[in-house]
Amino acid sequence: MEKRNHHQVVCFGEVLWDILPSGAVPGGAPMNVAYHLKKLGYEPALITKVGVDSPGQKLFDLMEQYTITTDYFQVDQQLPTGKVYASIRDNNEMEYDIVKPVAWDCIEWDESFIELVENAEFFVFGSLAARNKISKNTLFSLLEIAKKKVLDINLRAPHFNRRIVEDLLQKADFIKMNISELELITGWFSNYTGTEDRMKSLAGKFKISDMVVTMGGDGSILYMDGKIIRHPGFKITVADTVGSGDAFLAGLISKLLGGATPAEALEFAGGMGAFIATHTGACPEYDAAEITELISSNHQIIQQNIPS
């Protein structure tokens, strides 16, 4: 079958099943980002690997249901499809037990990746996919040919080390991380305590042009074109935070692809992340109009709180 080569965004890395207290749901940051981009009207591609097993087949079936191409899915004959056992802490933060080794640890180089990645506007990858040398080597080869390299930091002990994270930071054009990850990484080389100072020091050290930091209920901060933009976040009732950061990133990329201003993109991204946090699992069924509605209703709340 001839592969379709026009995909605006290519996501690389893990696809898996999140085993939540309520049951198993599809997950993995690259797949979550691809899912939400598809819901927002784009044609993402996903480079990953699953096992020859029922969970792997179910992921193939889901991609068909979502109309996301599986042209770049590999199948491992020995290792199983990925699983993550997730539990919710008292503060709504998630705790993860990530099974290893699994199929997505062994994504092998394929010549078909070259045209795919060269033609994409954004190449999205995470630090988790570099925990095994096979996937890591494939990833670093792709980073040599990608246009806009978007690093989604995902520091899950014991699945990372400083050297690899710094190598990934050296390659990235755009970084997305949460506030805890920003504090951990900048603590390696600076004694800054302010969030904006930490962001600027990280951007300077690794020559990164764009960066966004999510802060849960406290909103987010975007560093772009030498400017800092803040968004206060949205008032919601949280179901779980699984995949909310991935939805945030997909929302941000979708708006930047569509020519929105950085402030508009940040607001929409925050609305995406908040909306997904009101649902169970990373990939609920929804309509993009629901995101717009949440953002609009939040505008009204903010306006009501402004003194007359």
CA distances from 128 to 23, 50, 53, 100, 183 (A): 23, 16, 22, 11, 18
Q: Which residue(s) pair with 53 in the sheet?
A: none
- Digitized pLDDT (tens) for each residue of the chain, 308 residues in all: 334 458 999 999 999 998 988 888 899 999 999 999 999 999 999 999 999 999 999 999 999 999 999 999 999 999 999 999 987 776 666 678 899 999 999 999 999 999 999 999 999 999 999 999 999 999 999 999 999 999 999 888 778 899 999 999 999 999 999 999 999 999 999 999 899 999 999 999 999 999 999 998 899 999 998 899 999 999 999 988 888 999 999 999 999 999 999 999 999 999 999 999 999 888 999 999 999 999 998 875 444 444 43
Q: Is the dihedral of CA 174, 299, 217, 292 positive or negative?
A: negative
DSSP class of residue 207?
T
CA distance 240 to 242: 6
Nearest in space to 26 (alpha carbons), one of 74, 53, 63, 52: 63
Q: Determine the pLDDT at residue 86.
A: 82
Q: For residue 294, what pLDDT is reported?
A: 94
What does the alpha-carbon distance between residue 201 and residue 65 come to, in Å, rounded to a whole number? 43
pLDDT of the residue at 291: 95
pLDDT at res. 304: 43
* pLDDT tens-digit map of 162-195: 999 999 999 999 999 999 999 999 999 999 989 9
Give pLDDT, residue 149. Answer: 98
Contact 269, 251 (CB under 8 A): yes
| pLDDT tens for each residue of 117-163 | 999 999 999 999 999 999 999 999 999 999 999 999 988 877 889 99
pLDDT recorded at residue 164: 94
Residues pairing with 175 in the sheet = 151, 211
Amino acid identity at 217 = G
Report the pLDDT value the prediction gives residue 23, as an integer from 0 to 100.
86
In the chain the first and final C-alpha atoms are separated, in Å, by 63
pLDDT for 132 equals 95
**In angstroms, what CA-CA distances link 156 with 19, 99, 130, 159, 240?**
16, 12, 12, 6, 18
SS3 content of the chain, % helix, strand, coil (to 5): 40, 20, 35
Burial 34-63 (b: 16+ CB within 10 A, else e): bbbbbbbebebbbbbbbbeeebbeebeebb
Q: Which residues pair with 257 in a beta bridge?
A: none
* CATH numbers and ranges of domains, the chain: 9-297 (3.40.1190.20)
**Max Cα separation, the chain?**
66
Q: Two tokens at 120?
A: 């994409």
